[in-house]
Amino acid sequence: MKLEIRNKNREFLALIEINSGGVNFIDTGSDSSFRKFVIGALEKGIPEFREEEENGIIKILERLVIPPDPNFPLIFKNFIERNGYSVLDERALAVRKEIELILSALPDSNDKKLILEKIQKLFYAELILVLRELKD
């Protein structure tokens, strides 16, 4: 699973690939603190929370997950989101690529340049709306 990570200001932090074997940094932005955050979390284990009911009482259980747990990619993605980072998954990246493909067929203009800049900071739902507008 590939994920693009952005901070609260929608600034690019990293493009990473996650699988049950761990995290691979494909591209990192100029802020090295995110990489340090991830490496530190991997050393301790990524917390997973789940609810369990026992005798009518709901308990929240925490366990630390490390690769090669088969659920590691999804648990890691949820962990990153819980810590306030914005995550674009492969679906959003594919929609952005489709928008870029449509725009590449259009003549160069200031509007086209502006759209290409803006879509780099949009989330999945916003990208879907742009794609619908371009297809109409």
More confident: 97 or 136? 97
pLDDT tens profile 8-42: 888 899 999 998 888 999 988 877 889 999 999 99
pLDDT of 16 reads 93
C-beta separation of 59 from 51 below 8 A: yes
The C-alpha angle with vertex 134 and arms to 130 and 136, in degrees rounded to 5, equals 115
pLDDT of 123 reads 86
Task: For residues 26 and 35, give the distance between their C-alpha atoms in angstroms, rounded to a whole number.
Answer: 11
Name the burial class of residue 8, with classes exposed (0-12), middle (13-18) and buried (19+) by CB atoms within 10 angstroms of its CB: exposed
pLDDT tens profile 98-123: 999 999 998 999 888 888 988 988 88
pLDDT tens profile 60-82: 999 999 888 888 999 999 999 99
C-alpha of 71 from chain center: 16
Q: What is the mean pLDDT of residues 85-100?
A: 91
The confidence band for 95, taking pLDDT boundaries of 50, 70 and 90, is very high
What tokens appear for 42 in the block?
A: 């991997």
